[in-house]
């Protein structure tokens, strides 16, 4: 196991009706004037936004609001949010929604206390300071409720890039699984896929002897494989939603990735797809993961065989572990299709003729020098071949 530092200070309030605690929690974490940030309208339709406002009023907290965050959140709204925070002297940002809303809130929080262009953080500068953030989560997926990460798409060139820093870890996050019951099945499935991807990206490591995190990841993957189909079948299954919601947080608050190298090439390859075609991140990952894993199989056959055996129940063929490994990738692919995810680029709305462009922006964008590195270093031509496996 490698040396590591781990700091995860977010306070979680989990369970039914927990959103009604938002006012007291914001006050407890120092808010005196709040920006409520939300998405395209689901929180209006569900009545959640009204309940959040009632709770803030009851706690004596004035607020301003900024809605309209799009999935794959855009830089334009971030600039508006930063202006609003400054003109209204906001000192606390409350994100009510999914990963896109939370990520946009993090970008605003960092940008509001920074003299330069907030995009600097998405071009490699670490986030060292930010306004405090709280979240009321409405979809189990990105894990942004417990993570130091944020992903924004710059409309100038449609570049989707990430930034990070412990300063944007939420001070508190409210997780009421019942709030996720209004999700369309496709979004629930995209969220499940994203959580599975966060686990796989950490499982695919070059570090040896990491039994504790291997076993934790396997437990979370088994949970997702068990609970995922239950919420697709019955969107009102609170207990299954509860297990998925907490698994989603644990998958991405870094606790199961400590002390080990990680992959993240599936995410990087996917981000080009959701930047260009505006597809759901999880749906993109459903197409990307089997292709990346098949391409990288020979780098460490036993690692793929291990997850195939321990998570997907494939019999371990010690004479031919590659067969077990391939069976595991097939089991993953079948599972993702069974919950309603797309199986190829066409179903994502992506085009074969864009593949050279996708591989180029992936390998040369964001200061990269012609490759991406994770479990395996992948050059532009490797990435082109991987995109072609998705046709």
Q: Rule CB under 5 A: which residues touch Zn ion?
A: 194
| Residue list 100-119, contact with ligand NZQ (CB under 6 A) | 100-101, 103
Q: Residue 161 interacts with ligand NZQ (CB under 6 A)?
A: no
CA distances from 158 to 95, 118, 229, 272, 358 (A): 23, 16, 34, 9, 12
Q: What is the C-alpha separation between 13 and 174, in angstroms, rounded?
A: 5
Least CB distance to ligand NZQ at residue 373 (A): 18
Binding partner at 144 among ligand NZQ, Zn ion, none, C-beta below 5 to 8 Å by kind: ligand NZQ
Length of the chain, please? 391
Least CB distance to ligand NZQ at residue 144 (A): 3
Binding partner at 169 among ligand NZQ, Zn ion, none, C-beta below 5 to 8 Å by kind: none
| Residue list 183-242, contact with ligand NZQ (CB under 6 A) | 183, 187, 191, 194
CA-wise closest residue to 140 among 247, 300, 34: 247
Q: Please count the CA atoms within 13 angstroms of the CA of 287 that sit on its side-chain side.
A: 26
Q: Which is nearer to ligand NZQ, 288 or 307 (CB)?
A: 288
H runs (alpha helix) in 210-354: 211-233, 238-252, 265-277, 281-296, 301-310, 321-338, 345-348
Proportion of the chain in helix, strand, coil states, percent, rounded to 5 = 55, 10, 30
Q: Residue 115 burial by CB count (10 A; 0-12/13-18/19+): exposed, middle or buried? A: exposed
Q: What is the C-alpha separation between 163 and 52, in angstroms, rounded?
A: 28
Q: What is the C-alpha separation between 168 and 19, in angstroms, rounded?
A: 21
Binding residue for ligand NZQ, selected from 19, 21, 149, 272, defined by CB under 6 A: 149
Q: Residue 41 interacts with ligand NZQ (CB under 6 A)?
A: yes
Binding residue for ligand NZQ, selected from 18, 104, 135, 138, defined by CB under 6 A: 138
Least CB distance to ligand NZQ at residue 71 (A): 3
Strand partners, 65: 36
CA-wise closest residue to 24 among 94, 100, 108: 94
Binding residue for ligand NZQ, selected from 81, 98, 132, 342, defined by CB under 6 A: 98
Q: What is the C-alpha separation between 337 and 276, in angstroms, rounded?
A: 23
Q: Residue 165 interacts with ligand NZQ (CB under 6 A)?
A: no
Binding partner at 147 among ligand NZQ, Zn ion, none, C-beta below 5 to 8 Å by kind: ligand NZQ
Build a one-symbol-per-residue string for 322-351: x at contacts with ligand NZQ by CB under 6 A, - elsewhere. Answer: ------------------------------
Give the footprint of ligand NZQ on this chain (CB under 6 A): 39-43, 71-72, 97-101, 103, 138-139, 141-144, 147, 149-151, 179-180, 182-183, 187, 191, 194, 252, 267, 281-282
């Amino acid at each position: 196991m490698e040396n590591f530092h781990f700091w995860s200070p977010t306070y979680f309030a989990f369970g039914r009706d927990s959103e009604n605690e938002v006012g007291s929690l914001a006050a407890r974490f120092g808010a005196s004037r709040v920006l409520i940030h939300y998405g395209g309208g689901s929180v209006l339709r569900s009545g959640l936004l009204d309940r959040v406002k009632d709770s803030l009023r009851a706690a004596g907290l004035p607020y301003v609001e900024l809605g309209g965050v799009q999935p794959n959140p855009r830089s334009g709204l971030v600039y508006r949010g930063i202006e609003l925070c400054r003109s209204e002297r906001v000192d606390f940002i409350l994100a009510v929604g999914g990963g896109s809303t939370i990520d946009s809130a993090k970008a605003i929080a960092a940008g509001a206390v920074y003299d330069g262009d907030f995009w600097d953080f998405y071009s490699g500068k670490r986030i060292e300071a930010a306004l405090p953030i709280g979240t009321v989560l409405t979809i189990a997926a990105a894990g942004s409720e417990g993570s130091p990460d944020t992903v924004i798409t710059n409309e100038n060139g449609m570049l989707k890039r990430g930034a990070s820093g412990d300063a944007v870890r939420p001070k508190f996050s409210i997780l009421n699984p019942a709030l996720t019951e209004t999700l369309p099945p496709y979004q629930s499935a995209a969220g499940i896929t994203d959580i599975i991807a966060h686990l796989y990206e950490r499982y695919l490591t070059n570090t040896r002897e990491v039994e504790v995190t291997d076993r934790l990841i396997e437990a979370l993957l088994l949970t997702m494989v068990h609970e995922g189909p239950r919420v697709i079948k019955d969107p009102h299954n609170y207990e299954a939603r509860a297990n998925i919601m907490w698994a989603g947080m644990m998958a991405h608050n870094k606790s199961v990735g400590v002390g080990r190298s990680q992959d993240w090439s599936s995410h990087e390859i996917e981000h080009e797809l959701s930047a260009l075609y505006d597809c759901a991140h999880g749906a993109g990952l459903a197409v990307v993961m089997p292709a990346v894993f098949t391409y990288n199989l020979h780098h460490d056959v036993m690692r793929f065989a291990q997850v195939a055996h321990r998570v997907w129940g494939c019999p371990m063929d010690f004479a031919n572990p590659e067969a077990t490994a391939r069976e595991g990738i097939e089991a993953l692919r079948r599972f993702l299709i069974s919950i309603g995810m797309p199986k190829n680029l066409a179903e994502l709305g992506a085009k074969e003729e864009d593949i050279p462009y996708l591989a180029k922006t992936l390998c040369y964008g964001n200061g990269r020098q012609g490759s991406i590195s994770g479990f395996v270093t992948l050059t532009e031509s490797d990435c082109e071949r991987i995109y072609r496996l998705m046709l």
